Structure 1
Amino acid sequence: MSITENIIYKSPEESSIETRYVVMPDHANHYGTAFGGVIMSWIDMVAAMVAQRHCGKEAVTISVDRLTFIHPINIGDHVILKASVNYTGNTSMEIGVQVLKENPYKPELVRTTTAYLTFVALDENKKPTKVPTIQPKTADEIRRFENAKLRIATMKELSKKIKSKQ
């Protein structure tokens, strides 16, 4: 973490999280694969932890901007969730989450899900408050930052078009 002219900068690595779960029968549907809602709740939980670590305050989910299921996850699979801050605004943060599955008997990772969520930091009065500015350092962090800027610009443009038609 660094401070320049009262602006706090943090790298994505400082607040990133990786965690694991095992898909149990109560996490699955009648096809023997994980319920999307279970995976979604795990994504929201790990993203919230990243947002809280980044801003050092309470952070709440404002939106799930994109959630893409790529491959099913089976009962017994290990699920790895990797989450980090991709971009920060004044009071908001985009958190990216990648979900991977691993067959415990054949250690091969398969990306199953990607998600982008927006969180807002709250002060002690539950009002939006400033978050540290993200300072990407690695090539991967810079790529995620640039992609997030494109997603945010696209969302703003779409919102503007929708509002103009109302």
Structure 2
Amino acid sequence: MMHSNTVSASKITISELMLPSHSNFSGKIHGGYLLKLMDQIAFACASKYSGSYCVTASVDTVDFLNPVEIGELVTLKASVNYVGTTSMVVGIRVISENIQTGKMKHCNSSYFTMVAKDEKGNNVKVPRLILSSFDEIRRFYDSLYRIQSKKLSREIERKFDYKTKEALENLQHYNVEISEKLL
């Protein structure tokens, strides 16, 4: 029988001071650097939970809500929100803090789907998730909703015929121009 694990057993927090070398041309911390940190904590969280090596399968909803400044302390918090058979959804929250004033900003919330692997690269089963609070149940359902919405969206995209006259006419509502040879 597969063993179980709690959400709290997956929780990880990391903090890092943002340096000038992490900045982009506008003097803010580069989004790619923050994504790298988020991928690292997602790996650590999923691996800690599953006891296996994990790889990133997808990244959902990366919204940069507030810029991060040089000299701020960035803290990332991660936990497993959902488990499938071999995959896990890791929720990540990114907060920046001005260490001189103590002012904190929510900079990002994101969801990484991680897959557990064995030493040969084959998918392996992950432990069942023990939900211990209503907040954990809400996060599980939120993940389930995002997964189902993504599947439905893919199905609609597969069935949509973008070559129909109606589809081409609909594009007049957007900032595009259709070449005459396509009409």
Q: 1:127, CA displacement in angstroms? A: 0.6
Instruction: Tell me whether 138-147 or 73-82 shows the greater mean CA deviation.
Output: 138-147
What corresponds to 1:9 in structure 2? 4
| Residue 100 (structure 1) aligns with | 95
Per-residue CA deviations over 1:61-95 (Å, capped at 9, x if unaligned) read 01112211100000000000000101000111101
Give yes or no for the alignment of 1:46 onto 2:41. Answer: yes
Other-structure match for 1:73: 68
Corresponding residue to 2:28 among 29, 33, 53: 33
| Structure 1 residue 140 corresponds to structure 2 residue 135 | yes
Task: Give the TM-score normalised by structure 1.
Answer: 0.92
Distance in 1, Cα, partners of 2:91 & 2:9: 14
- What are the superposed Cα offsets for residues 23-68 of structure 1, whole Å, 9 maximum, x if unpaired? 1000001222100000000000000000101110110001112211
1:165 to partner: Cα distance: 3.8
Structure-to-structure mapping, 1:105-144, within 5 angstroms? 105-144=100-139
Specify every segment of 5 or more residues in structure 1 that has no aligned partner in the other structure, as ranges: 1-5
Gaps of 5+ in 2: 162-183
Report the Cα offset of residue 114 of structure 1: 1.1
Structure number with greater Rg is 2
Q: CA deviation at 1:123?
A: 1.5
What is the total number of aligned residue pairs between the two structures? 161
What is the rounded CA distance, in whole Å, between the counterparts of 1:83 and 1:60 in structure 2?
16
State the distance in 1 between where 2:38 and 2:154 align: 25
Please report the RMSD computed on the Cα atoms of aligned residues, expressed in angstroms: 1.2
Partner of 2:153: 158
Aligned partners of 2:51 and 2:159: how far apart in 1?
A: 37
SS at match of 2:102: strand
Partner of 2:59: 64
In 1, distance between residues paired with 2:135 and 2:105?
19
Opposite residue 148 of structure 2, the aligned amino acid is A
Percent identity between matched residues is 34
* Structure 2 counterpart SS, 1:106: coil
More strand by share: 1
Q: Structure 1 counterpart of 2:26, which letter?
A: Y
Runs of 4+ in 1 over 3 A off after TM superposition: none
Shift of 1:142: 1.8
